[in-house]
Amino acid sequence: MIPSKSLKIMASRMLGSKIALRSDYGPFIGGAKFIKGEGTPLPVESPSTCSNITTVSTPSSAQIASTLDLAQLTFDSGVWSRSSALSRSKVLAKLAVLLEEKVPELAEMESLNTGRAVRELKAQLGRLPDWLSYFAAVLRTTEGTVMPTEGEILNYVKRQPLGVVVQIAPFNHPLLIAVKKIAPALAAGNSVIVKPSELTPLTLLEFGLLATKAGIPDGVLCILPGEGRTVGKELVVDRRVKKIDLTGGTETGRVIGAIAGGNLASYTAELGGKAPIIVFEDSDLQNAVNGVCFASFVASGQTCVSGTRIIVQDSIYDEFMAKLKEKVASIERRMGDPLNPLSSMGPLISRPQLSKSEGIVASSLAEGLTVECGGKRMNGPSPLDGFDLGGGYFFQPTVLSGDGVVGSKVWKEEIFGPVICVSKFSDEADAIKKANDCDFGLGAAIWTSNGARGHRVAGLLDSGLVWINSHHRNDPSSPWGGMKDSGIGRENGMEAYRSYTQSKSVIMNVASEEKTRANDDWFSDSKLDVRYG
C-alpha cells in the first residue's frame, strides 16, 4: 500500500474532481512500489491547462541494464516462462478483475494526462479487461499439433515463449495499446519490458502495481518510463531482446526496425495512418455523418485510424457537407473541461502537435484549399462549462475542401489532429482509386446500404482494417494492423499470441528396437535403401 501522505491530490479546475496522483512515480520492476529512477526526471503535463501535474523519475543507463538482467534472469528461472498454462491463465484472469475495478479512477487519470474527454476514456478503458480475459482463455483452449509425418515417427509441435521482449507505446491510447501488447506477451510466458510515451506514463505505471497484486512475479513485467531517444533506444539495442513491439510513427518504425533487423529480433510495428472514408450516395446520410465525426474527432483526431480523407459521391456532396458542418459545430459547442462527462473533445497532447494542426491549415490555404469550418486554436471560456480553452492546446474541429484536395499535403501527411479533408468521387472505381492513393494502409471505412458493394469495395482497399457502416470497432480476437507504410505484423487474436511464441518441433522414432535395428542403420553392410530425412 502506498501511504496516503504520498498521494498528491489534483483538483480539476472546473469540476473539483479529485484525482489521486502519487508523488513517487518511477520505474516499475515488480513489487508494491516504484523504484527511484536515477535518470533525468520527467515532468508530466496536462494538455488541457498546460500545467505540470507530477514528475516521474526515469531509469539511468545502469538501471536500464539491470532491468534487462533481471528480466533475463527471471525468464531463465522459469518462474513464469515454464509455469503451467493454467496458472498463467488464472493470474491474467485475476488481473482482468483488478483492472475492471480500477477503470473509473484510471479513466480520470488518463483524461487529466492526455486531455482526452473522460467519456471516451471510461468507454475505452472499460473494454481493456476483455484483452486479459481473452488471452487467459487462449491459454485454457489452445491445443498443440501432431504433424502428419510419414512412417513410424511421432512429430509434435510445442509453442514456447521468446524470452525478453520490449514494447514501446505511443501517447494517444496509453493504457489500451500497452495492454493490447502486454496480454498476449505475458500469456505466452515472456518477460516483458514496456516503455510508455514520455508524455503519458501514469496509468501504465498504476497497471504495474495491479499486476503485482494479481500475482505476476517480480521481474516478469517491468515498466521503464522515459524518453524514446534514451530509455527506448537503450532497450531496443540490447541483443538479448528477442522481440520488439512498437506502436508509433512511421519514421520511428523504420529506425527501430533497422535495429531489430540487425539483432535478428522479431518485430511488430503498428505505425501511422491516413484513413479514407468512402460515403456512397445510397448510404444513410445522417449515420454516415455521425460515423465520420466519430472517426475524425474522437481523441481530437489523435488516433492511427482517424478518418482524415473523406471521399463523398458527388451526387450527395452538398447535402453531406451541410450536415457535416452542422455536426462539427455541435461538437465544438460542447468542448470544455475534459473531465466534464459532457465534454465532447479535448485538446491536442502538446504544443508541437498544436503547431502541426495550425501549420497544415496554413499550408492548405496556400495550396488553394478552403476551410469549411474550424481552422484555429481556441481561446476564451468554453460555452459548455466556462473552462479556459486558451489555457490548453485546444484546436477547433476543422474541415478542409477544394478541387486540389487529392494529392495535397493534408491528403498525404498524417497530422494527428482534428483536421480532415473532403473530396468528391464519381463512381466506385474512382472512390477506390482515391482511397488507395496514399502511402499508409491501416484503417478505412465504407458507408453504403448496398451490402454487396460494401464487401466488394472492402476487398479492393489497401488497408489492414476495413469497417462497413462503422468505424474503429476493435476486439481482442480481431486482427489489428496495417499494410504499406502503416507497419508490419498484427495485434490481437491468435496472430498476436503466436507472434509472442516460437515453435519447437519434437520428432521421435516410435518403431520397435528390432525394426529400428533392421531398417535404420544407415551404414549397414547389407541394406542400402535406408530412409534419410
Q: Which residue has the cell 474522437?
A: 298
| 257 contributes a contact to ligand NDP by CB under 6 A | no
User: Applying CB under 6 A, does 30 fall inside the site for ligand NDP?
Assistant: no
**Using the rule CB under 6 A, which residue among 82, 140, 213, 229 binds ligand NDP?**
229
User: Which residues from 412-441 bind ligand NDP, rule CB under 6 A?
Assistant: 414, 416
What is the DSSP-derived secondary structure letter of residue 408?
Answer: S
Burial of 55-86, coded b for 16+ CB within 10 Å and e otherwise, reads ebbbbbeebbeebbebbbebbeeeebbeeebe
Is 251 known to be catalytic?
Answer: no
Q: What would the grid cell of residue 487 be?
A: 507497419
User: Which value, to the nearest 10 degrees, does the dihedral of the CA atoms of residues 22, 24, 26, 32 take?
Assistant: -80
Q: Count residues contacting ligand NDP (CB under 6 A)?
A: 32
Kindly write out the interface string for residues 294-333 of this chain, putting x where it contacts ligand NDP by CB under 6 A and - elsewhere: ----------x-----------------------------
Q: Are strands 370-373 and 398-401 parallel, antiparallel or unpaired?
A: antiparallel
Q: 526: Cβ–Cβ under 8 A, 6 or more apart, which residues?
A: none
Q: At what angle do helices 118-126 and 128-141 cross, to 10 degrees?
A: 10
Asked if 487 is part of the footprint of ligand NDP (rule: CB under 6 A), the reply reads: yes
Cα(126)–Cα(104) distance, rounded to whole angstroms? Answer: 8
Interface region with ligand NDP, contact rule CB under 6 A, candidates 126-134, 167-175, 276-284, 395-403: 167-175
Number of Cβ within 10 Å of residue 514's Cβ equals 8
Smallest distance, ligand NDP to C-beta of residue 204, A? 11
Q: Is 386 left (phi over 0), alpha (psi -120 to 50) or beta?
A: left
Catalytic residue among 222, 293, 304, 421: 304
3-state helix, strand, coil in the chain (%, to 5): 40, 20, 40
List the one residue from 169, 188, 361, 384 that touches ligand NDP (CB under 6 A). 169
Q: Is 171 in the site for ligand NDP (CB under 6 A)?
A: yes
Q: Tell me which residue has cell 515454464.
A: 82
Instruction: Give min distance, CB of 195 to ligand NDP, in A.
Output: 6
Question: Quick one: 313 or 486, whose CB is closer to ligand NDP?
Answer: 486
In the residue annotation, 234 being an active-site residue is answered as no
Shortest distance, position 308 Cβ to ligand NDP, whole Å:
11
Considering only residues 482, 485, 490, 492, which one is a binding residue for ligand NDP as defined by CB under 6 A?
482
The reply on whether position 198 binds ligand NDP by CB under 6 A is: yes
When the beta carbons of 139 and 224 are compared against ligand NDP, the nearer one is: 224
Q: Does position 492 bind ligand NDP by CB under 6 A?
A: no
Interaction of residue 184 with ligand NDP, rule CB under 6 A: no
Helical residues (DSSP H) of 143-191, grouped into ranges: 174-187
On whether the CB atoms of residues 14 and 340 are closer than 8 A, the answer is yes
From the candidates 108, 270, 332, 414, which is the catalytic residue? 270
Our finding on whether 227 is near ligand NDP (CB under 6 A) is yes
Nearer to ligand NDP, 129 or 482 (CB): 482
| Terminal alpha carbon distance of the chain | 60
Q: Does 351 bind ligand NDP (CB under 6 A)?
A: no
Interface pick for ligand NDP out of 159, 233, 409, 412 (rule CB under 6 A): 233
| 163, 232, 375, 402: residue in contact with ligand NDP (rule CB under 6 A) | 232
With cell 539495442, the residue in question is 237
| 493 touching ligand NDP, by CB under 6 A | no
Q: How far apart are CA 225 and CA 228, in angstroms?
A: 9
16: left (phi over 0), alpha (psi -120 to 50) or beta: left
Residue numbers annotated as active site:
270, 304
Q: Using CB under 6 A, list all residues that contact ligand NDP.
A: 168-172, 177, 195, 197-198, 227-229, 232-233, 236, 247-249, 252, 255-256, 270-273, 304, 414, 416, 442, 482, 486-487
